[in-house]
Each structure stands twice: as structure tokens, then as C-alpha cells.
Amino acid sequence: MRNEQEFIDLLYERLAELRAGVETAVRKALPQEGSNFQARLERDVLVTERSRLLAAFDAGENGLCFGRLVFRDGRDHHIGRIGIRRDDADRTPLVIDWRAEVARPFYLATGHTPMGLRRRRHLTTEGRRVTALHDEILDLADTVRTGHEGADADAVLLAALDAARTGRMHDIVQTIQAEQDRIIRAPHHGILVVEGGPGTGKTVVALHRAAYLLYAHREQLARRAVLIVGPNPAFLGYIAEVLPSLGETGVLLATPGELFPGVIATGTDTPRAAEVKGSAAMADALARFVRDRQTLPDPVTVIDHEDGELRLDADTAYEARRLARETGLPHNLARPHFAFRVIDALTAQLADRIGADPYGGPNLLGPDDIAQLGKGVATSPEVHRAIEELWPDRTPQQLVTDFLADPVHLPEADADAIRRTDGDWTPADIPLLDEAAELLGEDDSAARAAAEAQRQERIAYAQGVLDLSYGSRTQEFEDRDDEDSEVLAAHDLVDAERLADRHEEADHRSAAERAAADRTWAFGHIIVDEAQELSAMMWRLLMRRCPTRSMTLVGDPAQTAEPGGCGAWETILAPYVDDRWQHVRLGVNYRTPTEIMEIAAQVPRATDPSFEPPRSIRSTGIRPWARRTDDVARAVAEAVAGETRSEGRLAVIAARSRHEALSAALPAASTGPAPDLTSPVVLIDPRQAKGLEFDAVIVVEPQELGDSDLYVALTRATQRLGVVHARPLPAGLTMLSAPDAAASDR
């Protein structure tokens, strides 16, 4: 124990040295304004890089080192959250990053396949103090004993699983199991589907996979960023600390309702409306709706003009529309093509009227005269109003608002379900907005023109710098012939461009920050949790965000609850990659004890007798209980009072319709769209509970929950489960005993 404590002390001393060095570099760099582009750029890059290092050092502060590998060949490595070298001159690692290849035996080695190990040590620490050691002998020929050998190889894992929850997901870097390690380190190209029932650790495995991919493919993924999509704000808050604890901060976490920049979906849909909006048929309906915005005069549009009325007839507009559509451009980008052809036709009409030879000869107007007429037509507000009526410019928000007010191209029942003239954006609207943005396109010509103007200013500035630098050589070149002077001018121009581009003011936001603001951003990798819940339209959005189809999809079709959810993996992926995807399944339940899982499994078995839940590896000896009452809110309050005497976090899970009454009975409970999960008691609905875990759970009135929601609610507890109800229990839960009987089992 003492030797390991001395090593941990040394390790933290080295970490303090590294942190002090980085902080000094940042402190010196920040006040430096810089006299030119290059100086400011170098300062900003240094601050950005050093700040990232500081974040990694801070992340490694807790549980910096947790393992040690002793090999048969004499190698001896400590394993930790981040890699640290002994000093700047000595490249020998003091501790090895858990993601390095040499660290894999810590997770994969067994007595049957020791992978060259003599022994594997687990270090348990509290802060900077070593509190326990656990050695596993992997080479039976090794007779050396330390006194820390343990017969139970899973002791460290079980201790972590039995620990009280904190309201935040913890990393499992110290207890990654072999099946999990293989998923974490799988190649990042293509689509990997990770399926697993409740408690199998699929979410935390996906998060560790993100950390591993950023380690193994740093240059590529740090530039393109990794997107993690979670089901709701409560879930994102729950997992928010996992990646930072592993030294990774360059990841964008978002719910489906946050994937359209500038819009946060706070509204709610009826289940039927969400189902309709999520169906694949919406893509065709929106496309047809956009084409409906490209109209024709009926039969003629009369336009006031200073040189007399102009008449835009249906045939002329039809030809302009046909040619604009043939460009294949989105609606807003094709609009100028339509406008130009209409303007040309109206200009020709005006020229024929003004320049007609009364004696039948050729038109009396010359090219310059016609060009002047065209300029007048092109700048006419009346002409532009006519064009706007026939081919209006629209934003995605305007288009979707118009569509929801009049949902044409849908069956009448579907249209009635989604019709809306006001209200907040809902999560189901987000993929509609994204689809609309694709159909409309964005005219960025003005932005590109402004960027080019700024670039020309930088080139002019750079040329001035070069002129000053080469001033002493000017006379030398003036004495040369014209050909040499032209070569010099070209040389200076190229150098000025390079200098300007080199010192362009850079966008120093992280890749994740830039991606969050850019709808067209292509992520290097996307991880989707509860993937079975996403609609067909949401998958269209996500596939656009990742053209390389580099994804990790995590979920369990058996837990599909959203009406528009795709559920089956084949349904999700076939339209995009056919059968070119990999499927792995996690079969061990680390969270839910056997006593609770036996009860929860009866819910899906009521409709599917062949259902087999993941195998629980823990047993607490505590039987779940049920209490029937006429006063549900009071009974829940009494149950909560009893449970809060125990250590850990408690969740009351009930249908949303009961929350008002339960909130009044539980004034200390945190609730709402994003409850504080670190609170001792939270009140949530089953959808909010997805992916979360608590020491104790009280499920309220299970008859009010659908089978999938009930299954989710029953499987959130790591220790204790209770049910409070007034109505009869659903089939499968009737075996629950009264609270007093359950307590006697403890």
C-alpha cells in the first residue's frame, strides 16, 4: 500500500508541475495583443491548446491512476485516465492512458488468456489517498504474493455497482468489461449498432467509445467533432460529466429538439401529431408543398411600370419556371434563374413596344438602349413583387409554418392531426425544418461576396507590408525591362495572397461550438442514444449530418415508446446503408438486481412469452413491494419519507398527468423538463427516466403507463423498487407483496 501511495503522490506532483506550466503559458499569452495577424493567431492557438490541456488535467484530478499491469517480461505500467510522462526530457510514461493499446490487458486478460500478464492490480482511491488494492494473479506459476490478492475477480466491479448514486453518470474506466471493451475500440468507420436491455451499460459504453475514438483519431475527429444525441435534457445533464472526466471536451451533446440552429423546441405534440410528423411521407409532402410555391399567373399578371403596363402571362412564366427547375437547384437558389428569365421576357416586351418601327423595319433600339430598359425592369419594385408572388423566397421557419397551417398532400386524418396556426416549435418540427432547409437552399452569395471583399482588404494590407519590405530593392527592378517587371509584379501578388491567407483572422471556437451553429456541418462521428425512438424524418436529418455514415447507435427495440419511433434497426438503416452495418448485443445487466428484474420482465412477457431480459449479475436480497391505496399522493409521500432515510437518490416515476398533484405532496422533489438529478428526490415521467438510474424508485399507478414505459420505469432502480397504486395492477405485477412483507426480506 505504501509504495502505491508514494507513486500516487509522485504522480500528482507531476500533474501539478504540468498544470503550473500550462497556466503560466496562458497567463503570459493572454495580455499580448500582437502587432500583426500572425502574432494574434499564434497567441489564440496557444491559449486554445493550453486551455484544452488544462481541461484534461482537471479531468484527471479524481481517480488519476486506477490500475497497474505487471508483465512476465518485466514491464510494469500504471494505467490512468490520461497519459503523463515523467518529465519533458524523459519520454518514459509515468502513467499510461487507458485508451492506449498497451492498456488493453487491463480489460481483456483472463487466467485462460493472460495476454503476457503476471498480475493485474486495481487501485481504489479517495481523492489522492489510496484506500484499497486488489490483485488478480494471471500467471499461476508466479509464487509472489502481496497480501492483496482476492478470490473474487469481480470485487471491484461489484463495489462500484453497489455504491450509492450521485445523480450523475460516472465513467466506468476502472471497470470496463471485456465485451464492453471490444465495442469501445471497434473501428469507427461505418455504422455500429449496440443493442442491450436495461442496465447493460450501453450508454456509458457509447460515451467511452466517443472518448476512445477522439484519442485514436484525434486529428480527424477533433476537426470534425463528435455529436452525441440524447433523448431529453435530463439525460444530457445526467451524462454531461462522463466525457470531461475522461479528458474530452470537444463533443457536442444535443437532444433531437436542439438540432436545428437557432430553434429550441419547447412545445409538445399529441402522440398522433408526433407520429404523423415523423413519418417518411412528410418528406414527399414538403417537397410537393415547395413546388406549389412555384406558381403561374391566372391567366395574366399586370405590372405597373413607368414606361407603361407590363403583362406577364402564364406561358412566359411557365417557360421561366421550367428552365429554373431544370437547374436542379433548391427553391431559393433556383429563384434567381426564374427571376432573370422573367425580367428578360418583360424587357423584350418593353423593347418591342418602345422601339417598334412604325414602318415594319427592325427595332429602333440598340443594345445599349435595351440594356438600359432591362436595368429599369430589374430594379422595379413592382416587378419584384410580381416575381415574389409567383416564386416567393422563404425561410425554413416560414415554409413549415405555412405547411402546418394547411397540411396539403397528406390524408385528411393526418392533416387534421398536425394542423396548427400558432404555438412553440416541438421536437417533431425540427426534422421538418431541416427538410425545408434542404428543399429551399440558402443563398450565401452575399456572405461570400463580403468574405471576398475582406480577403481583398487583407491582400492589399499584405501587399503594403511587402512593398515596405522590398522598398530598398525597388530601384533595382525599375532598371529592368518590362518583362522582368511583370514577373516581379506577379511574384509580389502571389506572396501578398499567401501572406493574407496565412494571417486570416481565424474562428477560434471549438469544432463542437462551430458545429452547433452550422446546420450543414458534417460530423466525424455521431452517437445516438435511445436510437430506436427516433422517427424516419429525424434519421433523414442525422444522415445529412454525417455523410460518411460513421455512427454508433445505441438502444433497445423492446423499449420503443415514441409513436413515431422506428424501433427495428432494419427499418432505420435500410434506406441509407442497406445491410452494411454491424450489430452487437450486450447481454449482462449490471444495474438492475435479480429481484427487480424478475418482476420487470413480466411486463413484456405478458405479450411476448418468449421474451428474455439481460442476465442480472447482482442480487440485493431486497424484494420489490406494492401498496394499494385510495389516496395515491399521500401514500407516495409516505413511501418517499421512508426511502429518504436510506442513502442515495430516489425517483418517483409517474405519468405526466399526475405530476401536479404529486408535486404538491412532494415539495422537496425536483421536477420539470430538466430536473436536478443530484437532488435526493426527483419526480419524472417514464420518458424522462430513459437512460437514468437511481438507488430507489417508486412507480406510481402502473395502469396509466404503456407497457414500454412501465418496463423502463421498473428497471431504473439499483437497490429498491416500490409501486403505489389505486387501480388494479397490470398482469405480471400481481406477484408483488405488501411493503411490510418486502421489508422482512431485508
Does residue 449 form part of some domain?
no
The whole-number pLDDT of residue 731 equals 82
| Structural domain contains residue 559 | yes
Side chain identity, residue 175: T
Of 27-36, 172-181, 444-453, 628-637, which one has max mean pLDDT?
628-637
> Does 399 share its domain with 377?
yes
Backbone angles phi, psi at 303, to 5 degrees: -115, 125
Give the separation between CA 6 and CA 381, rounded to whole angstroms.
81
744 part of a folded domain: no
And the C-alpha cell for 13?
506532483
Check whether residue 248 and residue 291 sit in a common domain: no
Pick the range with the lowest mean pLDDT from 437-446, 564-573, 706-715.
437-446
Is 560 in the same domain as 685?
no
| pLDDT exceeds 80 at position 29 | no
pLDDT over 80 (residue 354): yes
What count of Cα atoms within 13 Å lies in the side-chain half-sphere of residue 62?
10
Q: Check the CA dihedral 22-27-28-32 and report its sign.
A: positive
Q: For the chain, what is the total number of helices (H) and then of strands (E)?
A: 31, 21
Average pLDDT over residues 649-667: 96
In the prediction, which pLDDT does 473 show?
44
Does residue 297 share a domain with residue 237? no
Q: Does residue 468 form part of some domain?
A: no
Question: Could you tell me if residue 119 is inside a domain?
Answer: yes
**Domain count for the chain:** 4
- The answer as to whether 455 is a domain residue is no
Mean pLDDT of 576-594: 93
Q: Give per-residue pLDDT as tens, 150-177.
A: 756 577 777 777 787 888 888 888 888 9
* Burial (0-12, 13-18, 19+ Cβ within 10 Å), 553: buried
pLDDT digit string (tens) for 588-622? 999 999 999 999 999 999 888 888 999 999 899 99
The pLDDT, as a whole number, for residue 478 is: 46
What pLDDT band is residue 744 in, cutting at 50, 70 and 90?
very low
pLDDT of residue 493: 43
- The segment with the largest mean pLDDT, out of 160-164, 505-509, 541-545, is 541-545
Task: Report how far residue 482's alpha carbon sits from residue 466's, in angstroms, rounded to the nearest whole number.
Answer: 20
Lowest average pLDDT, out of 57-66, 163-172, 310-319, goes to: 57-66
Q: Which residue positions form the known binding site? A: 196-203
pLDDT at 51: 62
Question: Do 205 and 289 reside in the same domain of the chain?
Answer: no
Count the Cβ atoms, other than its own, within 10 Å of residue 446: 8
Q: Which residue has the cell 449479475?
A: 617
Check: CB of residue 121 under 8 Å from CB of residue 129.
no
CA dist list (Å): 89 to 22, 79, 86, 92, 93: 16, 21, 8, 9, 11
Please answer whether residues 387 and 339 qualify as being in contact, where contact means their C-beta atoms are separated by less than 8 angstroms: yes
Verify that 12 and 147 share a domain, yes or no: yes
Confidence of residue 491 (pLDDT cuts 50, 70, 90): very low
pLDDT band at residue 671 using 50, 70 and 90 as cut-offs = very high
Question: What are the C-alpha distances in Å from 397 to residues 286, 292, 424?
Answer: 13, 17, 12
Residue 499 reports pLDDT greater than 60? no
Q: What is the mean pLDDT of residues 683-712?
A: 94
Same domain, yes or no, for 333 and 282?
A: yes
Predicted confidence (pLDDT) at residue 654 exceeds the cutoff of 90: yes
pLDDT confidence of residue 173: 85
Of 202-211, 437-446, 511-520, 671-680, least confident by mean pLDDT is 437-446
Which one of 156, 182, 208 terminates a domain?
Answer: 182
Q: Take residue 323 and report the three cell numbers written for it.
A: 428552365
pLDDT band with cut points at 50, 70 and 90 for residue 742: low
> Which of 325-339, 464-478, 672-686 is predicted least confidently?
464-478
Residue 60 clears pLDDT 70, i.e. is over it: no
Q: Which residues are annotated as a binding site for ATP?
A: 196-203
- pLDDT at position 483 is 43
Shared domain for 415 and 284, answered yes or no, is yes
Instruction: For residue 224, give the CATH number of its domain.
Output: 3.40.50.300
Tell me the average pLDDT across 48-60. 63
On the question of pLDDT at 519 being above 70, the answer is yes
Average pLDDT, whole number, for the chain? 86
DSSP state of 364: S
Residue 638 burial class via C-beta count within 10 angstroms: exposed 0-12, middle 13-18, buried 19 and up: middle
Tell me: do 134 and 240 sit in the same domain.
no
**Does 741 fall in a domain?**
no
Name 95's bridge partners: 84
Which of 543, 558, 587 represents a domain boundary (last residue)?
587
Pair (287, 409) in one structural domain: yes
Q: What is the pLDDT of residue 47?
A: 56
Assess whether 235 and 171 both reside in one domain. no
Assess whether 144 and 49 both reside in one domain: yes
Q: How far is CA 418 from CA 48, 265, 333, 400, in A?
A: 46, 16, 29, 11
Tell me which residue range forms the domain holding 577.
191-268+510-587
Picking from 182, 212, 244, the residue at the C-terminal end of a domain is 182
3-state class percentages of the chain: helix first, strand second, coil last, to nearest 5? 50, 15, 35
Q: Is residue 488 part of a domain?
A: no
Residue 486: the pLDDT is 41
